[in-house]
Chains A and B, each alone.
Chain A
Amino acid sequence: MEYLMYEQIERYLAGRMVAEEKAAFEALLQTDRRLAEQVKEHRTLLQAMQQYGQREHLRSKLNKIHNQMETEQTGQQVTPMWRVFWKRHAQTIAVAASVSLLSVFGTLWSVQQMKAPVQQQTARYVELRREVDKLKRAQTAIIKDINNTAKPAPRPARFSGTGFALSASGYLVTSSHVVEGADSIMIENTSGVKYKVHEVYRDQSHDLSILKIEDPAFAGFGKLPYTFKTAESDLGEKVYTLGYPREDVVFGEGSLSSTSGFEGDTTAYQISIPLNPGNSGGPLLDDKGNLIGVISGKQAGQEGAAFAIKSAYLLQIISELPQATTLSPVTLPKYNVLAGNSRPQQLKKLKDFVFVVKVYN
Chain B
Amino acid sequence: MKKGLYETDEAIIEGIRSDDDRALAYLYKLHFPMISHLILSNSGTDDEAKDVYQEGVIVFYEKVKSGSLELSCQIKTYLYSVCRRLWLKRLAEKGRFAVNVDDAENYLMLEDDVPQQEENERRFGVMEEAMNQLGEPCKTLLEDYYIRMQNMQDITDRFGYTNTDTAKNQKYKCLQRLKKLFFATYQAPA
Contacts of B61 in A (CB 8 A): 58
CB neighbors of A among B147-190 (8 A): 147-148, 168-169, 171-172, 175, 178-179, 182-183, 186, 188
CA distance A49 to B25 in the complex (A): 25
B28 closest partner in A (C-beta): A65
Task: Pick the residue among A44, A53, A63, A65 that contacts B188 (CB under 8 A).
Answer: A44
CB neighbors of B among A5-43 (8 A): 6-7, 40-42
Is B126 on the interface with A (CB-CB < 8 A)?
A: yes
Is A94 on the interface with B (CB-CB < 8 A)?
A: no
Task: Pick the residue among A41, A49, A65, A80 that contacts B142 (CB under 8 A).
Answer: A49
Contact with B along A41-63 (1 / 0, CB 8 A): 11011101111111100110111
Is B74 on the interface with A (CB-CB < 8 A)?
A: no
B54 closest partner in A (C-beta): A62
A62–B171 contact, CB under 8 A? Answer: no
Contact of A55 with B124 at beta-carbon distance under 8 Å, contacts A62-B54, A65-B24, A66-B28 already known: yes
Is B120 on the interface with A (CB-CB < 8 A)?
A: yes
Contacts of B183 in A (CB 8 A): 41, 45
Is B131 on the interface with A (CB-CB < 8 A)?
A: yes
Is A3 on the interface with B (CB-CB < 8 A)?
A: yes
CA distance A55 to B32 in the complex (A): 19
B146–A46 contact, CB under 8 A? Answer: yes
Task: Pick the residue among A44, A51, A53, A65 that contacts B143 (CB under 8 A).
Answer: A53
Contacts of B171 in A (CB 8 A): 3
CA distance A2 to B175 in the complex (A): 12
A41–B123 contact, CB under 8 A? Answer: no
Is B21 on the interface with A (CB-CB < 8 A)?
A: yes
Is A68 on the interface with B (CB-CB < 8 A)?
A: yes
Contacts of B146 in A (CB 8 A): 46, 49-50, 53
CA distance A88 to B124 in the complex (A): 36
Contact of A53 with B28 at beta-carbon distance under 8 Å, contacts A45-B182, A58-B58, A88-B41 already known: no
A51–B40 contact, CB under 8 A? Answer: no
Contacts of B58 in A (CB 8 A): 55, 58-59, 62
B29–A84 contact, CB under 8 A? Answer: no
Number of B positions contacting A (CB below 8 A): 40
CA distance A6 to B148 in the complex (A): 19
B168–A51 contact, CB under 8 A? Answer: no
CA distance A55 to B57 in the complex (A): 11
CB neighbors of B among A244-270 (8 A): none
Contacts of B29 in A (CB 8 A): 65, 69
B182–A69 contact, CB under 8 A? Answer: no
B102–A88 contact, CB under 8 A? Answer: yes
Is A348 on the interface with B (CB-CB < 8 A)?
A: no
Task: Pick the residue among B21, B102, B131, B186 that contacts A61 (CB under 8 A).
Answer: B21
Contacts of A59 in B (CB 8 A): 54, 58
Extra contacts besides A40-B188, A45-B175, A51-B120 (8): CB < 8 Å: A3-B169, A45-B179, A48-B123, A48-B126, A55-B124, A62-B58, A65-B25, A65-B29
Residues on A facing B (Cβ under 8 Å):
1-3, 6-7, 40-42, 44-46, 48-55, 58-59, 61-63, 65-66, 68-69, 80, 84, 87-88
What are 17 A-B interface contacts by the 8 Å CB criterion? Answer: A3-B172, A6-B175, A42-B179, A45-B179, A48-B123, A49-B127, A49-B142, A50-B147, A51-B127, A52-B127, A53-B143, A54-B62, A58-B58, A58-B61, A61-B24, A62-B54, A65-B28
